[in-house]
Amino acid sequence: MSRKAQAPKTLQSDARQAVERCAGWNVRSAARRITQFLEDRIQGADVSFTQFGLMAEIAAATDDSISALAARMGLDQSTLSRTLRTLEAEGLVEIAVADTDQRRKLVWLTEKGARRLEAALAAWRKAHNELEQMISTDLVRRLARQTETLSSDH
């Protein structure tokens, strides 16, 4: 009986297997490529892809508090506040303290921000249609939903 000789395990082979199989690494790689693809295609709308996503989250929100926005985006409030300050400096969002609770900050798009988001949405729609010809965006959405439990307190 002849058995195939198994290649000896090495750090290189173990690392290669980890890189090829690691869900976290593969998702990061895919996210970087998808983000860059979309970033390249919406650049004419005068917003970064990060700004686009944040502005879309603000526009879509039923709760306009910074804490609710941070929770939806999976960010801590201080990180989100730094990004919001950039948008505020450009006149794209307005941030105010709630009348009913001085600890609560609210955020919404300004008219300029809404116009900028509209332009970005037009560019995004075109880019997203192109992306859908290359990858299953439904699969990406399902993956995002399935991984929501990873960040909960289970």
Instruction: Look up the CATH number of the domain holding residue 77.
Output: 1.10.10.10
- Residue 79 CA to its chain's centroid (Å): 14
Q: Kindly state whether residue 114 falls inside one of the protein's structural domains.
A: yes
Question: Which pLDDT does position 6 carry in this prediction?
Answer: 66
Classify residue 149: in a domain, yes or no. Answer: no
Structural domain includes residue 139: no
In this structure, is residue 98 part of a structural domain? yes
How far apart CA 5 and CA 100 sit, in angstroms, is 73
Specify if 81 maps to a domain.
Answer: yes
CB contact burial 13-43 (16+ within 10 A = b; e otherwise):
eeeeeeeeeeeeeeeeeeeeebeebbeebbe
pLDDT band at 115 (very low <50, low <70, confident <90, very high): very high
Question: How much is the pLDDT for 33?
Answer: 96
> Does the residue 99 lie in any domain?
yes
Give me the pLDDT at residue 144, please: 87
The predicted structure's pLDDT at residue 154: 47
Residue with tokens 């439904």: 138
- Please state the rounded mean pLDDT for residues 16-27: 93
Question: Residue 46 pLDDT > 70, yes or no?
Answer: yes
Domain total of the chain: 1
State the residue range of the domain holding 86: 48-130
Q: Tell me, yes or no, whether 88 lies in a domain.
A: yes
Q: 10 lies in a domain?
A: no
- Determine phi and psi for 105, rounding to 5 degrees: -105, 140
